[in-house]
Amino acid sequence: MPLYRSRAQRFDDLVLEAVAQLEPRWEAELASVEFAVEEIPAADPPDDDPEPVPLARLDPGSAGAGDPRRPARPARIVLYRRPLMARADDEEELSDLVLDVVVEEFARLLGVDPHSVDPSYPDED
């Protein structure tokens, strides 16, 4: 096993660690969610109210109604590596940010407050 891990591999590890922190309490719900990492979000067409660069995306999935042409897709949370890395000053801050984003997106998927998912989620300033 190589001693060197690329930045992308270390980022993937941070995502896995964040999910692992939620597993003791949310194991059943997490079992039906896929987590993925993409470098950057897809380019959106310009509009009159530009949003900040997103840090993640939630794809709620679909329930297959027995139609083999349209199989069920699990919910998917995609984190964007470069925007997240650009907002963190060091590895510890990046780890905290990744956990916060995982908690936020998972809470959104469940339709609950992030504090319900992780009581240590930071309060808004």
Domain boundaries, the chain: 7-41+54-62+73-117
As a whole number, mean pLDDT of residues 67-84 equals 87
Residue 71 has pLDDT above 80, yes or no: no
Topology, domain 7-41+54-62+73-117 = Zincin-like (3.30.2010)
**Spatial contact of 106 and 117, defined as CB atoms under 8 Å apart:** yes
**Spatial contact of 39 and 120, defined as CB atoms under 8 Å apart:** no
SS (HEC) of 55-108: CEEEECCECCCCCCCCCCECEEEEEEHHHHHHCCCCHHHHHHHHHHHHHHHHHH
Task: Identify the bridge partners of residue 75 per DSSP, sorted by sequence position.
Answer: 33
Tokens of 83: 């925007």
Sign of CA dihedral 38, 93, 18, 73: negative
Mean of the per-residue pLDDT values of the chain:
88
Residue 59 has pLDDT above 70, yes or no: yes
Element (H, E) at 34: strand 33-38
